[in-house]
Amino acid sequence: MLTLEDTWVDMGDFTLAADLSVPEGRRVAVLGPSGAGKSTLLAMIAGFQPLTRGRVMWRGAPMTDDPAARPISMVFQDNNLFPHLTVTQNVGLGLRPDLRLTREDRNRVEAALARVGLTGKGARKPAQLSGGQIARVALARVLLRDRPILLLDEPFDALGPALRAEMLDLVGELARETKATLLMVSHNPEDARVMSDDVILVVDGRAYAPVPTAQIFDNPPDALRDYLGR
């Protein structure tokens, strides 16, 4: 269980409160108007956003301050890869942050790349990859990090519709294989409908507790209806 226990951040002109739990293994979409705080919610869970109040718990224990030590992998909207490192190095950071990779580490990197469909691309630099391939590299690293929580912050919003559907499928498969708890911010309600079990609605300075996807789309609350425009 991932729990945000009475959490609150106050950044002066912006506040966000969340008091909610996500059961292990669920796939959750985070929806809401831009500027409402969807990314902030993920940053709070990942440890990038210091909390004014409250705490984030995993399996009943509070998380550490160090983002790297949390049981979390995160994929950002962009800048997921270091442009000066090769694909192998970028993925290898998921095993060893100092990049002193052993032969066995390299084999594991190669296997992860094969799993996301990038066999033989290890020596390339990000500039030589397409947008879809870059996203795949980031997912290969997620595989190696093997953390129980996966946070995705609009990672595929810059991709075309067909490519995005493909990547969402891949994420779904990976999450199933690793039994990861998934939280994904998206601008596209359709994505949420296709792949999430639950929806967290973020609106008016508050992140609401997850509601089953089918339920919330069949009978949307006012805030979601305003956002969806229907």
Partner 1 sequence: MAQSGRISRPAWLSHWPGLVAALLLVVLVFGTLLAVALRAEGGRGLGPADWAAIRFTLWQAVLSAGVSVVLAIPVARALARRSFTGRTALVTLLGAPFILPIIVVVLGLIAVFGNKGIISITLSVFGFEPISIYGYHGVILAHVFFNLPLATRLILQGWLSIPAERFRLAASLGMGPTDIARLLERPMLREVIPGAFLVIFLICLTSFAVALTLGGGPRATTVELAIYEAFKFDFNLGRAALLALIQFAMGAGGALIAFRIAMPGDMGTGLDRAVQRWDDSPIQRVMDVVFITLASLFLLLPLMMVVLNGVPGLLSLPPSVFQAAIRSLVVALGSAFLTLTLAMSIAALVVQRGAWLVEGLGYLTIAASPLVVGTGLFLILFPFVKPSDLALPVTALVNAAMSLPFALRALVPALTSVERDYGALADGLGLHGLTRVRLLWLPRMRQPIGFALGLAAALSMGDLGVIAMFADSQGVTLPLQLYRLMGAYRMEDAAAAAVLLLGLSLLLFWIFDRGGRVNADT
We find the least distance from the C-beta atom of residue 47 to partner 1, in angstroms, to be 8
Residue 184 lies near partner 1 (rule: CB under 8 A): no
Region binding partner 1 by CB under 8 A among candidate stretches 46-54, 106-114, 158-166, 167-175: 46-54
Q: What is the 3-state secondary structure (H, E, C) of the chain?
A: CEEEEEEEEECCCCEEEEEEEECCCCEEEEECCCCCCHHHHHHHHHCCCCCCEEEEEECCEECCCCHHHCCEEEECCCCCCCCCCCHHHHHHCCCCCCCCCCHHHHHHHHHHHHHCCCCCCCCCCHHHCCHHHHHHHHHHHHHHHCCCEEEEECCCCCCCHHHHHHHHHHHHHHHHHHCCEEEEECCCHHHHHHHCCEEEEEECCEECCCEEHHHHHHCCCHHHHHHHCC
Q: Using CB under 8 A, pick the residue from 60, 61, 79, 218 that binds partner 1.
A: 79
Candidates 62-70, 166-174, 205-213, 218-226: pick the segment binding partner 1 (CB under 8 A).
62-70
Q: Would you count residue 72 as binding partner 1 (CB under 8 A)? A: yes
Question: Residue from 3, 18, 31, 40 that binds partner 1 (CB under 8 A)?
Answer: 40
Give, in order, the Cα–Cα distances in Å from 186 to each of 105, 199, 224: 33, 11, 14
Q: Does 158 bind partner 1 (CB under 8 A)?
A: no
- Contact stretch for partner 1 (CB under 8 A) within 53-61, 104-112, 113-121, 124-132: 124-132
Rounded CA-CA distance 183/68 in Å is 18
Q: Could you give the string, one character per residue 185-224, with x where binding to partner 1 holds by CB under 8 A and - elsewhere? A: ----------------------------------------
Which of 1, 24, 48, 219 binds partner 1 (CB under 8 A)? It is 48
Q: Residues binding partner 1: what is the number (CB under 8 A)?
A: 39
Of positions 47, 155, 210, 220, contacts partner 1 by CB under 8 A: 47
Q: Which residues of this protein are in contact with partner 1, per CB under 8 A?
A: 11, 14, 34-35, 37, 39-40, 43, 46-50, 65-69, 72-74, 76-77, 79-80, 82-85, 93-94, 97-99, 125-127, 153-154
